Amino acid sequence: MKTALITGATAGIGQACAHILAKNGFNIIITGRRAERLAEAAQELHTTYGVQVHTLCFDVRDRQQTFDAIASLPPQWQSINLLVNNAGLAMGLASFEEGNMDHWDTMVDTNIKGLLYVSKAVVPLMIKHQTGHIINISSIAGKEVYAMGNVYCATKHAVDALTRSMRLDLSKFPIKVSMVCPGAVETEFSIVRFEGDVERAKKVYHGFENLVADDIADAVWYIASRPPHVNINDIVVMPTAQPMAGVIHRKN
């Protein structure tokens, strides 16, 4: 059986990826900072799909915690076939000159440095087994910019650049590196972005049919289920009503 490690699997897209991979027979390592949610998710995945589930509770921004967590994996969990670098967030929506620098730090530390730390800790395990696949969750914000998205867009552009660079460097092992770039998906993303303001978060998805986490998990599964000689470099998944970043056709 294959093993997948999914970061940020306590909610949203990561949780949906854990489900589709477990449904297709992967044993699952799920990570996040909320221990209770990890325990609940592990129980649900095991009961629903009969797969083995291991949890790692750590903050991807913390280099030591990240390396300690991966090093703590029991030997049978160290053959990681698939890493889904999903943990990430946006904080705030502000014109550059009004930007909150604590928000900037959190986004850079999570979306860029967190992805780097997890990958750096997992790649040696993949090299050891001469196989592996990394799927990075970037965003349409990694392809285009939108008003007041400045630093979030920059972090996701970095994920795009890192995906291409990692593919160049790691394909020789061979490790596949792929990316999924979603448009607006209703998850906890906007609640986090607006620091718990649920009413403001709801307005983001008002008047059009947004994507749901399963739409992105479908793309991840498509990428993960190709044969060894095929790598899907990149999939951009958008709501039909969102033709580009920052543009949404709303009915009312």
Tell me which residues touch ligand 8X3 (CB under 6 A). 139-141, 183-184, 245
DSSP 244: B
Structure tokens at 37: 């949610």
CB of 229 to ligand NDP, least distance (A): 28
CB of 152 to ligand NDP, least distance (A): 8
Question: Which region, judged by CB under 6 A, interacts with ligand NDP, from 48-56, 76-84, 94-102, 184-192?
Answer: 184-192
Among positions 52, 78, 89, 231, the unique one binding ligand NDP when judged by CB under 6 A:
89
Under 8 Å between Cβ of 101 and 151: no
Residue 86 interacts with ligand NDP (CB under 6 A): yes or no: yes
Separation in Å, CA 209 to CA 38, 56, 100: 29, 34, 31
Structure tokens at 220: 């991840």
Interaction mask 24-43, ligand NDP, x per CB under 6 A: --------xxx--x------
Alpha helices (H) in the chain, listed in sequence order: 12-23, 35-49, 63-71, 101-107, 115-128, 150-170, 189-193, 198-204, 213-224
Structure tokens at 67: 């390396």
- Most distant CA pair in the chain: distance in Å? 55
Question: Which region, judged by CB under 6 A, interacts with ligand NDP, from 1-9, 72-80, 120-128, 194-202?
Answer: 1-9
Nearer to ligand NDP, 9 or 51 (CB): 9
Residue corresponding to tokens 């993960």: 224
- DSSP-derived 3-state class of residue 177: strand
Residue 188 interaction partner, one of ligand 8X3, ligand NDP, none, beta carbon < 5-8 Å per kind: ligand NDP
Residue 163 interaction partner, one of ligand 8X3, ligand NDP, none, beta carbon < 5-8 Å per kind: none
C-alpha–C-alpha distance, residues 153 and 159, integer Å: 10
Among residues 37, 3, 39, the alpha carbon closest in space to that of 21 is found at 3
Active site residue 205: no
C-alpha–C-alpha distance, residues 180 and 223, integer Å: 9
Cα dihedral 15, 110, 75, 172, rounded to 10, equals 100
Residue 239 interaction partner, one of ligand NDP, ligand 8X3, none, beta carbon < 5-8 Å per kind: none
Which position among 49, 117, 152, 205 bears the catalytic label? 152
Cβ-closest residue to ligand 8X3? 139
Nearer to ligand 8X3, 68 or 209 (CB): 209
Among positions 19, 54, 61, 113, the unique one binding ligand NDP when judged by CB under 6 A:
61
Residue 51 interaction partner, one of ligand 8X3, ligand NDP, none, beta carbon < 5-8 Å per kind: none
Query: Known catalytic residues?
Result: 152
Q: Write out the residues near ligand NDP by the rule CB under 6 A.
A: 7-14, 32-34, 37, 59-61, 86-89, 110, 114, 137, 139, 182, 184-185, 187-189, 192
